[in-house]
Amino acid sequence: MYAVVVSGGKQYRVSEGSTLVVDRVAAEVGSSVSLDQVLLVGGDSVRVGTPHVAGAAVSATVVSHDKGAKTEGMRYLHRQRRRKQKNGRASLSVLKIDAISG
């Protein structure tokens, strides 16, 4: 059984037992999280929501909180002979999918 869920404005295809890296979730490590924005549930028969499947939910456990790869951006202002740098790292959470209901 698999499902398509929305987390952080992005869509992910998940199945039971898989791990998922999403934007930071406001939950402690080891706690359970319910992803209730389910767009599609597949398996023997496919159920597509309009826009969400009624009564469907995906339960997951927060494994860890990490930071993503460092991103660097540089812009050169040629007449002022100046450089602007932007750096950043995304805050991520790793989820383990426990069950898909619905």
Summarised one tens digit per residue, pLDDT across range 25-74 is: 999 999 999 999 999 999 888 999 889 999 999 999 999 999 999 999 99
Q: What is the pTM of this model?
A: 0.81
Q: What are 63's strand-pairing partners?
A: none
Three-class SS of residue 38?
A: strand
Return left, alpha or beta for 55; rule: phi > 0 is left, psi -120 to 50 is alpha, else beta.
left
Please give the tally of structural domains in the chain.
1
pLDDT, position 88 = 94
- Which domain covers residue 94, as residue numbers? 2-101
